[in-house]
Amino acid sequence: MDKVSTSAADAVAAIPDGASLAVGGFGLSGIPDTLIRALHEHGATGLRVVSNNCGTDGHGLGTLLEAGRLSRVTGSYVGENKEFARQYLCGELEVELVPQGTLAERLRAGGSGIPAFFTPAGVGTQVANGGLPWRYRPDGRVHTASPAKETRTFDGSAYVLEHGITTDFALVRAWRGDRHGNLVFRKAAANFNPLAAMAGRVTIAEVEELCEPGGIDADAVHVPGIFVQHVVALTADQAAAKTIEKRTVRA
C-alpha cells in the first residue's frame, strides 16, 4: 500500500518511447514540473501527450517539445508556446485540438470507464464534420486531417459523438497526498489534474506535502488512491518553485 517512490527519476523510469501521457496543469498552474524534468532526463521520446496545453517555451511540457521528445499532442490551445506553434505549422508535430470542455469530459469519461458520449459542443463545425489539420506538410499543405464524427439528434437537438481518453501513464501535481495515493488539489491547481489522474493506467503524482495514512480527511480527497500508483514527495524548494506565466503588477 505504500506507493511512495524514492525519487522522481525512479517514478518515471518505466515510461518507454512512444508512451501516451495525460499531464495535469493549465498554463503553468499545477503542472507536474518535477516529473516532467525527470522525464526529460530519462530520455523517452516519441511521446503522445494529452494535456490542456503544452506549457510555455522552456517551462513544463515546453522542455520536452524543445528537445523533440513529443510526436503528438491532444489539447485545447497552443497558448504562449512559440515552439509548439512552429513545430505544428512546420509538420514536425501532430496536434489534435479539442474544445476545452470536451477534452475535460473525454478524460473524465475515460477514467470512469465510459467509452464515448454525445455532446453539443462542435456540432456544425470541423470538430464534427472533419477537416481540422492534425499534421501539416513542410510546404504548408495539410498532411493529415481529422475525420468526420458520428452525429445524432436527441429531442430535436444535434450532438456529436466523442470518445473517452485513457493513456498509458499520467503525470499530476497535488497539494497534499498520502502514502496510499489519496490526493488533494488546491485552488487553481485543481484544473486538469484530477481528470488526468483518472485517465492514466499508471498515474504518478508529485505532492507538495506528504501525509501519513489517515492524515487527510476522507471527505477532502479529490482523487482516491485507487487511481494512483506512484507518489513522489517534493522537497521544500521543489514545492515552492511555481513559475508565473504572466505577471501583471501596478505601475
Whether the CB-CB separation of 228 and 207 falls below 8 Å is answered with no
User: What pLDDT, on the 0 to 100 scale, is given for residue 56?
Assistant: 86
**Whether 20 contacts 169, CB under 8 Å:** yes
Contacts for 102 with CB less than 8 Å, ≥ 6 apart:
119, 121, 122, 127, 162
Q: Determine how many CB atoms are found less than 10 A away from the CB of residue 169.
A: 27
Query: Would you state the pLDDT for residue 35?
Result: 98
Please state the domain extents for the chain. Answer: 8-115+164-240
* E-only strand ranges, the chain: 20-23, 47-50, 70-75, 94-97, 116-119, 133-136, 142-145, 151-154, 157-163, 167-178, 183-184, 200-211, 230-233
Dihedral (Cα; 8, 11, 15, 21), 10-degree rounding: -80
Query: Residue 79: which pLDDT band, with cuts at 50, 70 and 90?
Result: confident
Beta strand 47-50 with 70-75 is: parallel
Does the pLDDT at position 62 exceed 90? yes
137 contacts: CB under 8 Å, gap ≥ 6 = 91, 143
Task: Give me the pLDDT at residue 126, please.
Answer: 96
Could you confirm whether domain 8-115+164-240 is CATH 3.40.1080.10?
yes
Is the pTM higher than 0.85? The answer reads yes
Residue 132 has pLDDT above 90, yes or no: yes
pLDDT given for residue 251 in this prediction: 84
pLDDT for position 73: 97
Per-residue pLDDT tens digits for 165-178: 999 999 999 999 99
4-35 per-position pLDDT tens digit: 999 999 999 999 999 999 999 998 899 999 99
> According to the model, what pLDDT value does residue 244 have?
81
